[in-house]
Amino acid sequence: METADVIIIGSGQGGVPLAADFAKQGLMVVLFERDLLGGSCINYGCTPSKAFLAAAHAAGRVRQAEDLGIYAQVEVDFPAVMERVRLIRARWHQGVQKRLHEAGVRVVYAQAYFTGERTVTGNNVTVQAPLVVINTGTTAATPKIPGLAGTPYLTNRNFFDLQKLPPRLLVIGGGYISLELGQGLARLGSETQIIVRGERVLDHEEPDVSETLAEALKRDGIQIHFHANTQKVTYNDNLFTLELDNGQQLQGEALLIATGRHPNTSALNVAATGVELNEQGYIKVDEQFRTTCENIYAIADVAQQPAFTHVSWEDYRRLKAILHGENRTRNDRVLAYAIYTEPQVGRAGMTIADAHKKGINARCVTLPMSDIARAIEWGHDLGFYRMVIDTETDLILGATLVGYEAAEIVHVFVSLMEAGATWQLLEKSVHIHPTYGEALPSLARGFVE
């Protein structure tokens, strides 16, 4: 058995900088990785998906430019689109390899599992260390639909390996992955249908967010089947057939499964080191990422943190500070995220419903995109801006933006909220005309009595 100063399991966006920082401090760091360095973000998440959507949304905007008096035929070289995606992914992956190598991190390519207290084994290498960090992330969950197993269905894991554009795409799931990738393939030329179990897409968002996105998908020619469950999958002669519980049969050359995630903990044998899991299989941690075994920590989505790269990276900064004696916690920053459909969804902090559940006397104002000069001029009038405030303190509690490049604009609210600003500060700001950001002070003026 070998010894090290630090063991890190998983090379996601939290594990890699932790490993590199510890190694640069002169510590012996061993990182176990069972798959590709860089975790889901670089290999089958943010990096490839946004490179893919760059092409898809470019095509979509051209097709929808008729309202501007622009008429064009769009020709998509799908193999070239996907080759560019894979080249960008490979470049980022190589960057992670270089970073770890230059820092002096020892990488063991193997499925890691605990064989004793703070003792980890993988590929015939057993290492014990006084500090262990688990950063193994999550994997696409596969529903137990009769006939699905053994078919060449897609998840975000293998989606970016597509070589040919499927003429017809079927998508099971109504979350952000299904919407981003489903809209993306539709804009590149696939006839797309989405099967949603409930009454709306993005059911974790506010209802009018769901309604806006459903309308956007409809404009792209996407058909959504609500209140529909897939009872059976058949795959014959390169064709998927789905039987729905409403009696419908849908067919397509490709099937994308995007029905949620589950934590990568089943192979870790955490019981051997006294680490406990919750009922969903996530690692139990306290507010400072401590597991139930002393000096073992878990960060990011395997610890049921919000499944976003920027959260994982901030968890790295949080844990590093905690280990140096600082008082940081797992929820000590404003949570913001985005959905990269078109229009985009940008979210920061609380919704009005979140605030009321917490017992806060809150109110909100909403400004339609159709009232924003820049949106009208550019033909991006689908969506809205919304801000939530605490009526007793005037502090900004949250924002929901649905519109063109909302993921960029929402950062205004992130900074204001981190600074403890009130809505009056935004209201008296002078933003440039004509911009999308110009609408934010106008939004705040909705609170003026």
pLDDT tens digits, 155-168: 999 999 999 999 99
The CATH code of the domain that includes 226 is 3.50.50.60
CATH number of the domain enclosing 435: 3.30.390.30
Q: Are residues 87 and 170 in the same domain?
A: no
pLDDT tens readout for residues 379-398: 998 999 999 999 999 999 99
State whether 10 and 37 are in the same domain.
Answer: yes
Portion of the chain with pLDDT greater than 70, in percent: 100
Looking at the structure, do residues 104 and 184 belong to the same domain, yes or no? no
User: Same structural domain for residues 43 and 87?
Assistant: yes
Q: How confident is the model at residue 449 (pLDDT cuts 50, 70, 90)?
A: low
Tell whether 354 and 286 lie within a shared domain.
no
Q: Supply the pLDDT for residue 344.
A: 98
What predicted TM-score, i.e. pTM, was given to this entire model? 0.95
Please indicate, yes or no, whether residues 250 and 267 belong to a single structural domain of this protein.
no
Mean pLDDT score, 67-79: 95
Asked if 318 and 355 sit in the same domain, the reply is no
Q: Clarify whether residues 345 and 402 are in a common domain.
A: yes
CA distance 389 to 325: 34
Please check whether residues 241 and 286 belong to one and the same domain.
no
Residues 6+ apart with CB under 8 A from 369: 343, 375, 380, 381, 382, 383, 384, 385, 402, 403, 404
Do 135 and 32 lie in a common domain? yes
pLDDT at 21: 98
User: In b/e form, how buried is each residue of 111-150, taking b as 16+ CB within 10 angstroms?
Assistant: bbbbbeebbbbbeebebbbebbbbbbbbbbeeeebebbee
Q: Which residues sit in the known binding site for NAD(+)?
A: 173-180, 260
| Residue 28: Cβ within 10 Å count | 17
Q: For residue 96, what pLDDT band results from cuts at 50, 70 and 90?
A: very high
Q: Are residues 371 and 394 in the same domain?
A: yes
- Which of the listed residues 207, 236, 259 is the one where a domain comes to its end? 259
Residue list, annotated binding site for FAD:
50, 301
Last residue of a domain, one of 259, 294, 312: 259
Q: Does some domain include residue 153?
A: no
Per residue in 249-297, pLDDT (tens digit) is 999 999 999 999 999 999 999 999 999 999 999 999 999 999 999 999 9
**Angle at CA of residue 168, ends 405 and 180, nearest 5°:** 20
Residue closest to 49 by CA, chosen among 39, 41, 38: 41
- Does 181 map to a domain? yes
* Options 204, 324, 356, 433, the catalytic residue: 433
Binding residues: 50, 173-180, 260, 301
User: 383 Cβ partners below 8 Å, 6+ apart?
Assistant: 212, 343, 368, 369, 375, 401, 402, 403, 404, 406
State the distance between the two ends of the chain, measured CA to CA, in whole angstroms: 71
User: Where a domain ends, among 207, 228, 259?
Assistant: 259
Domain encompassing residue 75: 2-139+262-323
Mean of all residue pLDDT scores within the chain: 97
Residue 404 within any structural domain of the chain? yes
204 catalytic per annotation: no
**Do residues 28 and 64 both lie within one domain?**
yes
What's the average model confidence in pLDDT over 188-198?
97
322-357 residue pLDDT tens: 999 999 999 999 999 999 999 999 999 999 999 999
Number of structural domains, the chain?
A: 3
